[in-house]
């Protein structure tokens, strides 16, 4: 599969929102079956959509937002992945909204998006990258386990016990 990794454009926002909605639905269908988890996921969706309506503001400055655009014949221009970088100061960046369309998982798109973020970070003088995810997301954790260092795991309790653990991954940028 041929993809182009590029900075987002304002006209990409509806497709990015569709991609994230599809990602959230995939997670709900495959990982989140308890009422407590579904409730939290449904409460999370509006904040994700609001974040994406303001990409320039939320990922501006030294941050960035990249998309993976399918270049395959007959699929040119379809967005199949995205990732955002938020500048946390002191050379540290946080990855947010890292998503690959589940229909094209395991084709190297996530690796290409992450390389795009790391190349940008090197150019901008970043030294450290981190992200958080939930242990119930097997595919994401598998990818992060191969490309990052797991620094911390925090077990959820009470209504959130079904989420498992929140995992903090990090990577030095050289």
In sequence order, what DSSP letters do the residues of 62-108 get, joined into one string? T-EEEEEEE-STT-TT-EEEEEEEEEEETTEEEEEEEEE-GGGTTSS
**Model confidence pLDDT, tens digit, residues 30-86:** 766 666 666 666 777 788 888 888 899 999 889 999 999 999 888 889 999 999 999
Band (pLDDT 50/70/90 cuts) for residue 5 is: very high
Residue 143 DSSP SS3? helix
What pLDDT was estimated at residue 27? 72
Q: What is the C-alpha separation between 126 and 76, in angstroms, rounded?
A: 32
**Model confidence pLDDT, tens digit, residues 112-132:** 999 999 999 999 999 999 998
What pLDDT was estimated at residue 36? 61
- For the chain, the average pLDDT equals 87
**DSSP type of residue 157:** -
Per the listing, tokens 């590029």 go with 6
**Model confidence pLDDT, tens digit, residues 152-172:** 888 877 666 666 778 889 999
Burial 69-95 (b: 16+ CB within 10 A, else e): bbeeeeeeebbbbbbbbbbeeeebbeb
CA distances from 131 to 77, 93, 128, 134, 145 (A): 28, 9, 11, 11, 12
What pLDDT was estimated at residue 32? 63
């Amino acid at each position: 599969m041929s993809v182009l990794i590029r900075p987002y454009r304002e006209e990409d926002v509806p497709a990015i929102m569709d991609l994230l909605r599809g990602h959230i639905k995939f997670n709900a269908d495959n990982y989140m079956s308890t009422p407590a988890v579904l409730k939290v996921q449904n409460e999370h969706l509006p904040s994700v959509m609001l974040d994406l309506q303001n990409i320039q503001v939320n990922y501006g400055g030294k941050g960035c937002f990249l998309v993976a655009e399918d270049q395959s014949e007959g699929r040119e221009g379809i967005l199949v992945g995205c990732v955002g970088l938020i500048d946390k100061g002191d050379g540290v960046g946080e990855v947010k909204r890292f998503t690959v369309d589940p229909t094209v998982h395991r084709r190297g798109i996530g690796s290409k998006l992450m390389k795009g973020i790391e190349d940008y970070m090197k150019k901008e003088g970043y030294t450290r990258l981190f992200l958080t995810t939930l242990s119930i997301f097997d595919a994401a954790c598998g990818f992060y386990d191969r490309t990052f260092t797991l620094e911390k795991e925090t077990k959820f309790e009470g209504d959130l016990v079904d989420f498992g653990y929140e995992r903090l991954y990090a990577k030095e940028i050289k």
